[in-house]
Amino acid sequence: MITDSHSHTLPYSPDAHMYIDELITKAKSLGIPRVGITEHYEIDMVYPDNEVMLFNLDDYDREFVKWKAECPEGLSLLKGIEFGYQTHTARAIDIVASCHDFDVVILSNHNFRGEDVYFSKIVYDLPIKARHAEYIGIMAEMCENCNNYDIAAHYDYINRYNPDDKATVCYEDCPDEFDRFFEAIISKNKSLEINTSSINSLIAKGNPNPMPDPAILKRYKEMGGTMITLSSDAHRSEALAQHFNMTREYMKSMGFYENTYFIGHVPHTEAL
Ligand SMILES: [Zn+2]
Ligand SMILES: [Zn+2]
C-alpha cells in the first residue's frame, strides 16, 4: 500500500466520524505506511447552526507529538492541515501555515459564492460549464495567491454532491481556467491531488466513468505537471485508502508512475 495524504479525525474536524486511534488501527490493518492527518481549518467561515471549522493549533501541535510517539512501528503520521480558501483569507492562510511545523498543507476550495458546496442551493441551478469555470477559476486564484501549501485538493469538489449522477468535471468545461490552475501549481512546484472521495461519490451514484477525466490529466502532463498525490480524504476509517488500487492502475495508464507525499513540506515519491 502507499501513503494516504489526506484524512480527518475527531474532535479537530467536527464532520469526521473517527478518532485517531480508529484511524491508526485501520491504517495498520491495511498496511498503509504513512497517513496525512489534515484537519479542517476554515478561516472566516460560519456554517449553519453557527458551527465553525477551527481549532486550537497549539493544542494540535502538542497532541500530535503524543500521537507520533504512540504510533505503532511501520506507520508514520504526517502532521497536516486542510485550509479552506476564500479570496480575502489568502494572506491569513499563508501566515498560519508558516507559524506551525506542518509536514503537509492542503489547500481547498469548498465554497461557491460564499457558501460551502455541501449546503449550497444555487450551485446546480447554473449551467454546468459556467459553474465549473467559476469554481476552477477560484482554484487557480487560490494556487496563485497562496504560497505556503503543498497540495491543491479535490478540483472536482464542486461536483461531489451534485444530484445529477451523469455529471463529471471535464477539461473541456473550462480549458482556460484549468490551464491557469495547472500553471500556478506547476510553477510553484505543488502537487495535484487525486481525491478518491470524489471517485467514491461517482461510484455511489452509479456513474460508469468515476475516474478523473483523461483530458485533465493529459493536459496537466503536457504542461509539465509531474506531481500527483492520491488521497482518500477519509472522514471515517472505512474510507482510508479507498479505491486506491484501481486509481493507481488508472494513473499509471495515464503516464503517472509516482505518488508524491510530503514530510516537512519536502516532496517524496513512491511507486504507484
Ligand atoms: Zn476538502
Ligand atoms: Zn478533507
**Looking at the domain assignment, is residue 197 inside a domain?**
yes
Tens digit of pLDDT for each residue in 97-120? Answer: 999 999 999 999 999 999 999 988
Contact call for residues 155 and 140 (beta carbons, < 8 A): no
Of the listed ligands, the closest to the CA of 152 is: 1
Distance 172 CA to ligand 1 centre (A): 24
Q: What is the pLDDT of residue 128?
A: 95
Q: What is the pTM of this model?
A: 0.97
Question: Which residues are paired to 266 by β-bridges?
Answer: 263
Q: Does residue 87 belong to any structural domain of this protein?
A: yes
Specify the pLDDT at position 265. 98
Which ligand ends up closest to the CA of 80? Answer: 2
pLDDT tens for residues 155-202?
999 999 999 999 999 999 999 999 999 999 999 999 999 999 999 999
Total number of domains constituting the chain: 1
pLDDT at 154 over 90: yes
- CATH number for the domain that contains residue 162: 3.20.20.140
Whether 209 is in a domain gets the answer yes
| Mean pLDDT score, 144-154 | 98
Q: pLDDT value at position 231?
A: 98
**pLDDT interval class at 77 (50, 70, 90):** very high
Ligand 2 geometric centre to CA of 160 (Å): 12
CA of 174 to the centre of ligand 2 (A): 24
Q: What is the pLDDT of residue 60?
A: 97
Q: Which domain holds residue 209?
A: 20-271
Q: In which band, very low, low, confident or very high, does the pLDDT at 245 lie, cut at 50, 70 and 90?
A: very high
Q: Is 160 left (phi over 0), alpha (psi -120 to 50) or beta?
A: alpha
d(CA 4, CA 248): 12
Q: What pLDDT shows up at residue 120?
A: 83
Which ligand ends up closest to the CA of 232? 2
What are the tens digits of pLDDT across the range 201-213? 999 999 999 999 9
The alpha carbon of 29 and the centre of ligand 1 are apart by a number of angstroms equal to: 25
The answer to whether residue 192 sits within a structural domain is yes
| Residue ranges with CB less than 5 Å from ion ligand 1 | 108
CA 148-154-155 angle, 5° bins: 95
CA distances from 104 to 167, 175, 208, 267 (A): 31, 29, 33, 9
Q: Is residue 53 part of a domain?
A: yes
Q: Please determine, for residue 39, whether its predicted confidence score (pLDDT) is greater than 80.
A: yes
Backbone angles phi, psi at 225, to 5 degrees: -70, 125
Q: Which single residue is written with the C-alpha cell 474536524?
A: 13
